[in-house]
Chain A
Amino acid sequence: MDFFSVLYYRFKKVWKAVRLYLVIAGPGLVVMIADNDAGGITTYAATGAKYGYHLIWFLLLLIPVAYYVQEMTVRLGAVTKRGHAEAIFESFGAFWGWFSLIDLMIVDWLTLVTEFVGMTAALGIFGVPAWLTVIIVVLLMSIIVLNGRYWTWEKIALGFCLLNLIYIPAAFMVNPSLSDIAGQGLIPNLPGGLTNELFFLLMANIGTTIAPWMLFFQQSSVVDKGLQEKDIKMGKLDTFIGSIITVSIAIFIVIVTGTLLHGTPIDDAATAAKLLMKTNHYVGAFMAIGLFDAGLLGAICISLASSWAFGEIFGWAHSLNTKVKEAPWFYISFFITLATAGVVPLIPGAPLVLITLFVQVIAVTLLPAALVFLILLLNDKKTMGEYANTRLQNIVSTLIVVSIIILSTLYGVSALFPNLFQ
């Protein structure tokens, strides 16, 4: 074959792989980018404002952490064709099943409340009243879900994922020093030593990278999309690209607040957006738009994770490919979860700080269980066959899971008893 024939043959091969990827891409990208939800944006904004670029290296470490945990749900979903809730019920019995399901419902609902808090605060910056934001979000999400096709829902969700990239131009607009980013951010260091404050922020970054709803969401999403064993390779690639994008967005947020707000105490991302507006109106506006989008993406995925899990266990039809008439309980549970969570931020004097605390604490009860079940399920050779964890995968995933369990437990306990580690 001549040179051009070889080139053409290789191009065709690559193009075929790209097209296949574009068909299969979705669950991994959506779950990973939605991982940067309203709470996540606040954590990254606070990280940059407090420690500048110094913790960028730590965020980079979270790429393999997020990937190794989430790719297991791809294999599990594609092989068993069951969501995570159903897999736990079937493999470990009703006790662990109910524990996981009820815990998931509570964590998801509380997290949804925090997403609404983020969204109302973000649009509040542009003068939109909170009640109007809640109505717009509930209507918008209902329309997206009620279209009756998983494919359409996924493409709309990917559109919102694209909007999450708004932090990239924002970071370029603040003219950060590349040498500072490389010098301070890429060399592992603990600014000021391992203080309680730094430790809490590191744990918060881990906590926002791996959340219980992500495991349930991605596995159910893989099942609803209909991915097969042959699609696992592309599904894993999708998850890997998603994990790179999510950490990249986090880094760009750190760069924005690290450049303009370094040394300023930040309680939430909306406050960061307001402060940024004083320095650069557009950057502040981008931060606020990104916060709203992050809350919306988080809300889309979290409410679906609950409805899918409910449907799996109660035996209701639970697919986005079904119409309301065919799966009424799936859509009713979705709407009730969404609407009730949306109302909470509108209640005057609602205990929002307590809710945020509860999210951290209750997530700590569910996350270790869900992760342990995940590894045990991936070692069930009878079910998983050739897709069961290899020895290397077990070593890596066990190390990651044990680290996450220890750190998230410390995070949860320190949220319960703030003075314990001082």
Chain B
Amino acid sequence: MRTINQFLNKIREINQRYSKPTVEMSRAVKISLAVLRVYLFLLVVLMVYKFITVMNVL
């Protein structure tokens, strides 16, 4: 239990440390990150769809 708490505290500390991105948020950076989010969302949707179809076959 103590180890789990220590681990969770460590995660919180990391989240705190890196809470603010240091890169200058220019338009190019913002667009790139937005496109990346959409791309990854679509990939996850495809993977979930594949998972569901495979489970249905099984």
Contact = CB atoms under 8 A, between A and B. Distances in A.
Nearest to B35: A372
Interface residues of B, number: 22
Interface in B22-58: 22-24, 28-29, 32-33, 36, 39-40, 43-44, 46-47, 50
B46 A92 contact: no
18 contacts: A92-B33, A94-B15, A99-B40, A313-B14, A314-B14, A365-B40, A365-B44, A368-B39, A369-B40, A376-B28, A376-B29, A379-B28, A380-B24, A382-B24, A409-B39, A413-B46, A416-B47, A416-B50
B19 A93 contact: yes
Given A93-B18, A376-B29, A364 B23 contact: no
A372 B36 contact: yes
Contacts of B21: 90-93
Interface in A351-386: 361, 364-365, 368-369, 372, 376-377, 379-380, 382
Contacts of A313: 14
A361 B44 CA distance: 10
Interface string A90-108: 1111101101000000000
Top 7 A-B pairs, shortest CB-CB distance? A91-B23, A93-B21, A94-B18, A89-B18, A94-B15, A416-B50, A92-B21
Interface of A: 89-94, 96-97, 99, 313-314, 361, 364-365, 368-369, 372, 376-377, 379-380, 382, 409, 412-413, 416-417
Nearest to A361: B47
B20 interface: yes
Interface in B4-23: 10, 14-15, 18-23
B10 A97 contact: no
| Contact residues of A: prevailing secondary structure | helix
Contacts of A97: 14, 18
Given A361-B47, A376-B29, A416-B50, A93 B20 contact: yes
Contacts of B50: 416-417
A67 to B, nearest CB: 23
A97 B14 CA distance: 10
Contact of B46 (A368, A372, A377, A416): A416
Interface of B: 10, 14-15, 18-24, 28-29, 32-33, 36, 39-40, 43-44, 46-47, 50
A380 B18 contact: no
A90 B47 contact: no
Contacts of A382: 24
A368 B32 CA distance: 11
A108 B36 CA distance: 21
A368 B19 CA distance: 23
Nearest to A416: B50
A99 B39 CA distance: 14
A176 to B, nearest CB: 41
A288 B32 CA distance: 43
Nearest to B14: A313
Contact of B22 (A91, A314, A372, A379): A91
Given A92-B23, A416-B50, A365 B43 contact: yes
